[in-house]
A and B are shown apart, each in its own frame.
Chain A
């Protein structure tokens, strides 16, 4: 085995080696399996926690640069030790529980949110053959487990017995559950093309037979990718959809009453969810770990970092949306567009098939993958543009109506004022 192969398969070799070692010591059986899995889970959780620390640093640095600031620069070179300083602070900070809190609910909420955020990482393929468990329902599992955070948020809001917390929790949940629908709907075109929900299979579908990257699904389905990304931003409650922590309105949302380590767990949950959405996006639409020259896990890391950079970019650039805009965007734009998109993809993917076997089974026109990608791309863009055109026209109508109403009110006011004109001077 050459050096390059060794580097490329580093993760696989290490994990197989550890599994072999444990089995060698304990002998094959349930005990060895459990210990291997436990070690794997421990390593995975630790890596994710470390990445979380890196993410907080990166985000503060990047957003600072966008806003023409320097960001953390005191702890260590480039402020690199800032996350560690934050961690020490979180560990040693007094943790107050409001006297009127619902104790069990209050304490369980951060644990639940952090735990379920970490569990999703069990199914992400990090490199060929390196995956916690290759579930055949991979992407569906990730979305399902991600939905657990809504319950935890409601528990946090309720447990704090604070009006702002509960109000924030309700708002957040109304937002999160709403955006789960476009998330579900925009995964479906990918599954239609890949023919599987397993994340490893979806990566495989975007890889050529010789191991080189094929056409990533973002080129097949740009609309799905865009809608999925918007839904992902909203699902993780990040700017511009960060209504849950609109400081000016509801202090800090559902976690006002949390401090110390429990607050840190909420932050961890938020960032880990963001990381999970980034990885899912990279896997579904950017080809996952497939890539030339560099080792696969590095490719996945690069693609994930790229997606996360866009997250940070949005946070540094866009103002917060209003709650009614948020709901309208979801139900009146994303969901209808996604439904139309699914129908279009179904029809086109049945009409233009890429394998002779499929053509023999169901008919259709045999085309190369490139042509199929081009056809789907054009259809997606067409749906996106016509959807945007409808939205723009509707917005124009609404705006004109609003302006007319304001004008008529002004008229009325003027009339009312001129009513006084005969006597006292208008002021």
Chain B
């Protein structure tokens, strides 16, 4: 296992270095003539008012939360799926109940209008 991941570590480092080299090489080749107007943020030619770092809607948070819950539910199904051929028949029932509860959660969110984007 550890040795399997060694290549991924090497790949991570290699890819990062390659991309870094590309950006660095470009920085040697490209012209650099900054001017105040050029360095302004591009907001369709309007002059920028204030920072972009403002408050956002709570709906994004709710969506992210629903996503986290289903992500965790999905991840838990993976080991079961691998063991599917060796588990007894009643295991299907257990996982069906599990999925049924997840579905209930989804339906609850649906009913409450949490899945509505407006």
Contacts and interface: CB of A to CB of B under 8 A. Distances in A.
Interface residues on A, range: 35 or more
Interface in B30-82: 30-34, 36, 38-44, 48, 51-54, 56, 60, 63-64, 66-67, 70-71, 74-75, 77-78, 81-82
Interface stretch (A70-78, A253-261, A409-417): A253-261
A326 B63 CA distance: 13
Contacts of B66: 331
Interface in A66-106: 90-101
A111 B41 contact: no
Nearest to A144: B75
Lowest 4 A-B CB distances belong to which pairs? A261-B26, A184-B74, A41-B14, A191-B81
B30 to A, nearest CB: 5
Contact of A174 (B15, B53, B63, B95): B63
Interface string A90-132: 1111111111110000010011001100110111000000001
A324 B117 contact: yes
A385 B87 CA distance: 31
A258 to B, nearest CB: 10
B54 to A, nearest CB: 8
A211 interface: no
Interface of A: 33-34, 37-38, 40-42, 44-45, 49, 90-101, 107, 110-111, 114-115, 118-119, 121-123, 132-136, 140, 158, 160-166, 170, 174, 177-178, 180-181, 184-185, 188, 191-192, 195-197, 251, 256-257, 260-262, 264-265, 323-324, 326-328, 331-332, 335-336, 339, 342-343, 346-347, 349-350, 358, 361-363
A347 B99 CA distance: 13
Contact of A260 (B1, B30, B41, B103): B30
Contact of A328 (B25, B88, B115): B115
Interface residues of B, number: 72
Contact of A362 (B71, B78, B88): B88
A261 B23 contact: yes
A141 to B, nearest CB: 8
Given A114-B19, A323-B117, A94 B43 contact: no
Interface of B is mostly: helix
The binding surface of chain A is classed by DSSP as helix
A197 B109 CA distance: 31
A170 B64 CA distance: 11
13 contacts: A37-B11, A40-B10, A96-B38, A110-B23, A119-B8, A161-B53, A163-B54, A165-B52, A191-B82, A197-B81, A257-B42, A327-B116, A331-B110
Contact of A133 (B7, B42, B96): B7
Nearest to A183: B74
Contacts, number: 223
B3 to A, nearest CB: 8
B16 A115 contact: yes
Given A115-B12, A161-B41, A262-B23, A41 B7 contact: yes
A114 B88 CA distance: 44
B108 to A, nearest CB: 12
Which of B12, B15, B48, B82 is the most central at the interface, judged by chain A CB atoms within 10 Å of its CB?
B15
Given A99-B39, A251-B42, A339 B52 contact: no
A327 B115 contact: yes
Given A96-B38, A191-B78, A265-B23, A111 B16 contact: yes
Contacts of B10: 34, 37-38, 40-41
Nearest to A347: B92
Given A37-B7, A132-B11, A346 B92 contact: yes
Given A45-B15, A92-B29, A162 B41 contact: yes
Contacts of A121: 11
A99 B67 contact: no
